[in-house]
Structure 1
């Protein structure tokens, strides 16, 4: 009993259940807990930039060949584009078949006439106007490195980390003292992360209590079909598409999901995939991926491999068109997918970003009134959990695929992870041959 009580998975599950109860029974108290949830996410964000920097630098510095660095990055970006485009296509097909916008026309028209909600939508539109693809790519280069770390901008930190890692790689043996220092710093940062994660149940409790207390379960009823379609589509994508991808590389989805269950529950409680980023890098290493692949693919995937956000965006646009009686031809839907391929890459792994990107997509296509996004204000928070969980799972799958294709997957460490005996972070540099030979029960 004591062992179950001290298990992080049990603690987070209990915290989520308590959060739902508090939010439903005492909505004012639940809504007031938002600062607690935000504080926990801030603690995680505090560690993201240094962990990404150290992991990427150590990975590239230890890769050896610069051609290998380019090959890994190229494979990752190709995978991201193919799978997110597939996610967009799945979303469009399901939305056309399920027709989630049918039957909400009266609600939709009422929303458009609501000046207050239209004003809220306009605020999102104003922010979205800055997220065009030219601004997105020029923003990757920071004005200064310190500013990138201070703001916690993942892409800017990632760019600097790659360049710094390449420089150390070219220096060869001369850089080894610095590499060893960074390695010790990396161990220390993951130690700090372990301390912060002790507060995960508190963050999950506060996040869930706030969501239920602020928006209420009753707010789900008018758009219940949309929620059902979004969750069902992401479930189908995970257990269909991602499952088939893993099987193609002789891996299984079930053990993988069980291995990252704590990260999934953390994302469920906080509604932010960013809260799981540092832990996912560590978990993918424990699961068998090399540090270089995990450290490069996971952070990059947080901007370029958002499967859940892609599904949400495609379904949401079709839903709004249906709700406002705007028929979309096949060519218009194909154009929509093409534009979403660009705008979806600008979504960060934080709560609400998908909503902003949706507004920017509508502004770019001009097929559906931008003000229509106000219809989704009440339920967007509830859909953010599904988006974030799918994003996290998808980024882990991408890491496994790239590691497998590059021969950067340690089967011995993987077998230990499946048996619940994953290698501690400080011992992960040991060659696979030194690890005990174990067999995975069938």
Structure 2
């Protein structure tokens, strides 16, 4: 029994049993899914609807959560110049580190050369397997992407669930609400109440995370098999190693320069990272990331702008994958790329990675878009990695997720708005977990 608190002290939080922790439940579900998929592959493959249903549940709340977070954050700032300043800093960060991720993938591919020695004749590859991805790639031109940011109606952005369209409408509405000043106070208060209710809904949805992770992992192993990795182990291993190097090397240095440990941040987000691993989708943890970064002392205005925008423009894992996979295909098919051709590949990848933002399976589609513009590398070569793309998708999602968490902290610090006391307490594990405290109990920023 806990001792009674002294006068003036708060009652300490009761620590729940270990099996009540969401991250433990998700971890157990992932292991169970792997075992079921391995020993009973047909049963595992049949459980795909469980993972799909959970991701649909999360996507159901993503649009309103982003809208409410951005609108209340911007309207609460009042100073519109600060909104532009935050956005400018965020995009400068995204551009630099997204480009750096592409360069890292290019360098590693040249040094390790995972595809060297395979000597595969492109004429023997089945191009029909990647035809659908190539078609989607042609649909995601830069011009089409920019026009596609604008929804048909204000409400269609919410109903279609396009993150960039929701972001566009939310920024415009938030700025409009800020411009009318006191007359908008009533609307702002109402939206804050809606925000509280939706984050409670997020907490309810997250209780189904272990079921979703179990179904998604059972399907992945059951449908593709662990043995699928053996044929292309060099590529998969190189990609995972490069992503680890980027997260704990590059982002680790950024974190150290900003006064925090990347390991502690990863520990703070362990539940969400396990969820991303289990579902192979970083979107499944987007609402939880928004809430956790606010709880850790990042202001709502920064979180609301950086996190949703980063999900489309700060795809570190996807960018590493694109240059690494492109050079793997070139090496495997015996295509020698000159330095100029590799720089062209880099430039095209920078544009195409933005053009397919928000598209399901964006990593594979952006790769198809890049290869279709660089004629030296055969698009049909993508058939070589189609079988293991699902396994690399998990690493892409994890790297993207961590990259956006770091970006949120960095931009908050650049703004001088990071609550260091709350942030350090969160990283030390001294704050209530996100699944234990209702959003209304979280102090306002």
Same fold by TM (over 0.5)? Answer: yes
Q: List aligned pairs for 1:81-120, cutoff 5 A.
A: 81-105=95-119, 108-109=120-121, 112-114=123-125, 117-120=126-129
Deviation at 1:412, TM superposition (A): 2.4
- The RMSD of aligned alpha carbons is 1.5
Deviation at 1:251, TM superposition (A): 1.5
| Segment drifting more, 141-150 vs 10-19 | 141-150
Q: Is the 8 A contact 1:349 1:388 kept in 2?
A: no
Structure 2 unmatched runs, 5+: 1-14
Which residue is equivalent to 1:52? 66
CA displacement 1:54-85 (0-9 Å, x = unmatched):
00000100112111000000100010000000
Deviation at 1:430, TM superposition (A): 4.0
Deviation at 1:348, TM superposition (A): 4.0
Q: Is the 8 A contact 1:303 1:346 kept in 2?
A: no
Q: Which of 351, 355, 376 does residue 342 from structure 1 map onto?
A: 351
CA displacement 1:271-308 (0-9 Å, x = unmatched):
00110111110111111100110111000001100000
Which residue is equivalent to 1:216? 225
| Segment drifting more, 145-154 vs 200-209 | 145-154
Which residue is equivalent to 2:293? 284
CA displacement 1:203-231 (0-9 Å, x = unmatched):
11111100000001111111100000000
Q: Which of 353, 372, 387 does residue 362 from structure 2 map onto?
A: 353
Q: Is the 8 A contact 1:272 1:350 kept in 2?
A: no
CA distance in 2 between counterparts of 1:197 and 1:180 reads 26
1:202–1:223 CA distance, 2 compared to 1 (3 A)? same
1:12–1:95 CA distance, 2 compared to 1 (3 A)? same
Deviation at 1:334, TM superposition (A): 1.0
CA displacement 1:17-37 (0-9 Å, x = unmatched):
000000000000111111111
How many residue pairs get matched? 426
Which residue is equivalent to 1:261? 270
Q: List aligned pairs for 1:21-420, cutoff 5 A.
A: 21-105=35-119, 108-109=120-121, 112-114=123-125, 117-348=126-357, 352-420=361-429
Deviation at 1:350, TM superposition (A): 6.5
CA distance in 1 between counterparts of 2:16 and 2:81 reads 51
CA displacement 1:387-437 (0-9 Å, x = unmatched):
000000000000001000001111222133134343653233446xxxxxx
Deviation at 1:364, TM superposition (A): 1.3
Deviation at 1:349, TM superposition (A): 5.7
Deviation at 1:344, TM superposition (A): 1.1
Q: Which of 21, 31, 35 does residue 17 from structure 1 map onto?
A: 31
Q: Is the 8 A contact 1:60 1:162 kept in 2?
A: yes
CA displacement 1:96-120 (0-9 Å, x = unmatched):
0000001322xx43x7525xx4212
CA distance in 1 between counterparts of 2:123 and 2:31 reads 36
| Segment drifting more, 261-270 vs 331-340 | 331-340
CA distance in 1 between counterparts of 2:410 and 2:376 reads 37
Which residue is equivalent to 2:8? none
SS in structure 2 at match of 1:217: coil
CA displacement 1:362-381 (0-9 Å, x = unmatched):
01111211111111110000
CA distance in 1 between counterparts of 2:18 and 2:258 reads 33
Q: Is the 8 A contact 1:272 1:349 kept in 2?
A: no
Q: List aligned pairs for 1:420-435, cutoff 5 A.
A: 420-422=429-431, 424=437, 425-430=439-444
CA distance in 1 between counterparts of 2:89 and 2:278 reads 32
CA distance in 1 between counterparts of 2:287 and 2:231 reads 37
Q: Is the 8 A contact 1:273 1:350 kept in 2?
A: no
Structure 1 unmatched runs, 5+: 432-442
SS in structure 1 at match of 2:180: helix
